[in-house]
């Protein structure tokens, strides 16, 4: 099915630089109940219904990222639900968005995609209440998700504070591994690792993050770790240190990056955000590729006070987020600046 | 004789796959790959470095990159 995809998964996202330009031309929505709108480029919109309840809304859909239709449905649903989890919300209802070439592909395939999505939504504790399907040359699937949240407990990307630790809950490299798989160059075990990561809901990680008390969070998707971190740091008006050796990376991803199996989205992310990143001279090209790599159904990036980071990490690991790691820290500096160092306490540059 | 691989209009990873296939079966010493986007150009550079081959951007016309990848000889080294 991936032969129908020019771009895979979240790599199909329109580049952030274009989006920013277009969105800036819109008048913007002003409403006293709107807690999070378009302006902050956050994961989901949040609208207050009353003192105790706000709606969290998001939509995500993309062309096949894998050939197995059930897995494609599962990954796409997982990715769409993630935006609600990243805000600290609870997904409640979902609408399916489907594009499908009924004359070219069997309806059984469509059934499998929907089943994959259905099962993942169920696992997330939400339900699918409807959807919309249109004929299209290229299959696409995703969800519009509505969740609920306490308006006083919304975790946006704008709350990072100097001194905070940064925790990432899943390994990076899904874009590169999917690109390698598309070229039939990915080892089965490496591809399985990426699939396992992409079909893991951020539900448990979100619950643990809320218990630990996060200052800010986002989920890592099409703009890559550096793109999403840049948005967080800019919105929070702080700078960030990242420690390359501490960043979890899917097995095989560095090797495939070295071979030149880097998705175009990674280069777009670099064009957009690269000027805000200072790499230590010893950070190699493949490592940079990983940091710019567009992720599909990536992990949560959580900023929280340093003294609570160890407990958060311990709980994440206990609950199955085995790759979770503290990957950096927030400091007072130029808003949006990211310094990538080899390791913690490495102040050579 | 040099093999020419025209990868214009192809998205990643196709240009790298086609170049790799040609290089793997290479009778001749070099291939010319034509691509029409900077991502494909950079990916070919990564591939050439990985294989310890020489990567040379021969010319750029509009959005088309003409890239020569060849085996190093004598004192030539990939950069």
Asked whether residue A70 falls in the same domain as residue A217, the answer is no
What is the torsion angle, in degrees rounded to the nearest 10, for the CA atoms of residue A83, residue A84, residue A86 and residue A90? -160
ipTM of this complex: 0.88
A148-170 per-position pLDDT tens digit? 999 999 999 999 999 999 999 99
DSSP state, residue A249: B
A269-314 per-position pLDDT tens digit? 999 999 999 999 999 999 999 999 999 999 999 999 999 999 999 9
User: Which has more pLDDT, A258 or B23?
Assistant: A258
B13-44 per-position pLDDT tens digit? 999 999 988 888 876 678 999 999 999 999 99
Asked whether residue A311 falls in the same domain as residue A207, the answer is yes
Give the domain extent around A80. Answer: 16-153
Asked whether residue A168 falls in the same domain as residue A148, the answer is no
Asked whether residue A171 falls in the same domain as residue A305, the answer is yes
What is the distance of C-alpha A301 from the center of its chain?
A: 9
Chain A residues in contact with B22 (beta carbon < 8 A): none
Interface test with A, best of B7, B11, B13, B22 (most A CBs within 10 A): B13
> What pTM, to 2 d.p., does this model score?
0.92
What confidence score (pLDDT) does residue A102 get?
A: 94
Rounded CA gap, A243 and A246, in Å? Answer: 6
CATH number at residue A216: 3.90.650.10
CATH number at residue A146: 3.30.1330.10
Nearest chain A CA: its distance from B74 CA (Å): 24
Q: Which of A182, A183, A259 sits opposite B46 (nearest CB)?
A: A259
User: Which has more pLDDT, B11 or A329?
Assistant: A329
Cβ of A258 and B46 within 8 Å? yes
pLDDT exceeding 90 applies to what percent of chain A?
86
A31 pLDDT band (50/70/90 cuts)? confident
A50 pLDDT band (50/70/90 cuts)? very high
* Integer Rg of chain A from CA: 19
- The reply to whether A246 falls in a domain is yes
- Which positions of B are catalytic? 12
- The reply to whether A90 falls in a domain is yes
Q: Please check whether residue A342 is in contact with residue A246, taking contact to mean a CB–CB distance below 8 angstroms.
A: no
A4 pLDDT exceeds 90? no
pLDDT exceeding 70 applies to what percent of chain B?
89
B47 touches chain A (CB under 8 A): yes
What confidence score (pLDDT) does residue B3 get?
A: 87
- The reply to whether A158 falls in a domain is no
What confidence score (pLDDT) does residue A298 get?
A: 97
Choose the final residue of a domain: A121, A153, A185: A153
B57 touches chain A (CB under 8 A): no
- The reply to whether A346 falls in a domain is no
A42 pLDDT band (50/70/90 cuts)? confident
Count of the separate structural domains present in chain A: 2
- The reply to whether A7 falls in a domain is no
Beta bridge partners of A96: A131, A143
Asked whether residue A307 falls in the same domain as residue A188, the answer is yes
What confidence score (pLDDT) does residue A349 get?
A: 47
What confidence score (pLDDT) does residue B29 get?
A: 77
Catalytic, out of A8, A10, A78, A326:
A10
Asked whether residue A272 falls in the same domain as residue A334, the answer is yes
Mean pLDDT within A205-210 = 98
Asked whether residue A119 falls in the same domain as residue A207, the answer is no
Cα diameter, chain B: 36
Asked whether residue A326 falls in the same domain as residue A242, the answer is yes
A346 pLDDT exceeds 90? no
Asked whether residue A33 falls in the same domain as residue A132, the answer is yes
Rounded CA gap, B38 and B42, in Å? Answer: 6
Give the chain A residue whose CA is nearest to the CA of B13.
A261
What's the mean per-residue pLDDT of chain A? Answer: 93
The phi, psi pair for A303, rounded to 5°, reads: -105, 130
Asked whether residue A67 falls in the same domain as residue A140, the answer is yes
Asked whether residue A117 falls in the same domain as residue A194, the answer is no
**DSSP per residue, A266-292:** HHHHHHHHGGGEEE-TT--HHHHHHHH
Rounded CA gap, B40 and B22, in Å? Answer: 16
Asked whether residue A119 falls in the same domain as residue A172, the answer is no
Give the chain A residue whose CA is nearest to the CA of B41.
A260
> What 3 state SS string does A59-108 have?
EEEECCCCCCHHHHHHHHHHHHHHHHHHCCCEEEEEEEEEEECCCCCCHH
B21 touches chain A (CB under 8 A): no
Give the chain A residue whose CA is nearest to the CA of B42.
A260
CB pairs under 8 A between A and B: 53
* Tokens, residue B38: 């900077």
Q: Please check whether residue A227 is in contact with residue A301, taking contact to mean a CB–CB distance below 8 angstroms.
A: no
List the one residue out of A130, A136, A115, A300 whose CA is nearest residue A203: A300
Give the chain B residue whose CA is nearest to the CA of A260.
B43
Choose the final residue of a domain: A153, A183, A206: A153
Cβ of B16 and A258 within 8 Å? no
A332 pLDDT exceeds 70? yes
Q: Please check whether residue A74 is in contact with residue A114, taking contact to mean a CB–CB distance below 8 angstroms.
A: no
Interface test with A, best of B39, B48, B49, B78 (most A CBs within 10 A): B39
Residue A258 C-beta-side C-alpha neighbours within 13 Å: 9
Choose the final residue of a domain: A153, A188, A210: A153
């Amino acid at each position: 099915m991936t032969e129908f995809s020019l771009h895979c998964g979240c790599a199909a996202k329109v580049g952030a630089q274009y989006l920013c330009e277009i969105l800036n031309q819109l008048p913007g929505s002003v409403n006293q109940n709107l807690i999070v709108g378009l302006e902050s480029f956050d994961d989901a919109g949040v609208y207050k219904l009353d003192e105790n309840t706000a709606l969290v809304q998001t939509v995500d859909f993309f062309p096949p990222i894998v050939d197995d239709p059930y897995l494609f449905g599962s990954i796409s649903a997982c990715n769409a639900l993630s935006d609600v989890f990243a805000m600290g919300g609870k997904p409640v209802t979902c609408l399916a968005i489907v594009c499908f070439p009924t004359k070219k592909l069997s309806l059984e395939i469509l059934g499998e995609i929907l089943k994959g999505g259905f099962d993942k939504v169920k696992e997330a504790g939400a339900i699918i209440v409807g959807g919309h399907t249109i004929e299209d040359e290229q299959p696409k699937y995703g969800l519009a998700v509505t969740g609920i949240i306490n308006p006083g407990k919304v975790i946006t990307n704008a709350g990072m504070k100097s001194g905070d630790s940064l925790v990432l809950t899943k390994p990076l490299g899904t874009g590169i591994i999917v690109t390698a798989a598309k070229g039939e160059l990915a080892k089965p075990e490496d591809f399985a690792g990426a699939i396992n990561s992409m079909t893991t809901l951020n539900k448990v990680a979100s619950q643990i993050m809320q218990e630990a008390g996060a200052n800010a969070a986002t989920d890592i998707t099409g703009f890559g770790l550096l793109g999403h971190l840049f948005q967080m740091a800019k919105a929070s008006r702080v700078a960030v240190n990242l420690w390359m050796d501490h960043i979890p990376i899917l097995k095989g991803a560095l090797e495939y990056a070295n071979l030149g199996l880097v998705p175009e989205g990674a280069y777009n992310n670099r064009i957009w955000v690269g000027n805000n990143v200072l790499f230590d001279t010893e950070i190699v090209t493949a490592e940079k590729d990983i940091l710019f790599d567009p992720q599909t159904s990536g992990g949560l990036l959580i900023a929280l006070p340093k003294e609570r980071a160890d407990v958060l990490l311990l709980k994440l690991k206990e609950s199955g987020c085995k790759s979770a790691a503290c990957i950096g820290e927030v400091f007072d500096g130029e808003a949006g600046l990211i310094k990538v160092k080899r390791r913690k306490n490495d102040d050579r540059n | 004789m040099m093999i020419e691989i025209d990868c214009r209009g192809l998205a990643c990873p196709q240009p790298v796959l086609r170049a790799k296939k040609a290089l793997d079966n290479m009778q001749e010493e070099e291939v010319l790959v034509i691509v029409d986007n900077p991502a494909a150009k950079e990916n070919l550079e990564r591939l050439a470095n990985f294989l310890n081959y020489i990567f040379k951007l021969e010319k750029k016309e509009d959005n088309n990159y003409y890239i020569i990848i060849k085996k190093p000889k004598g004192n030539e080294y990939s950069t």
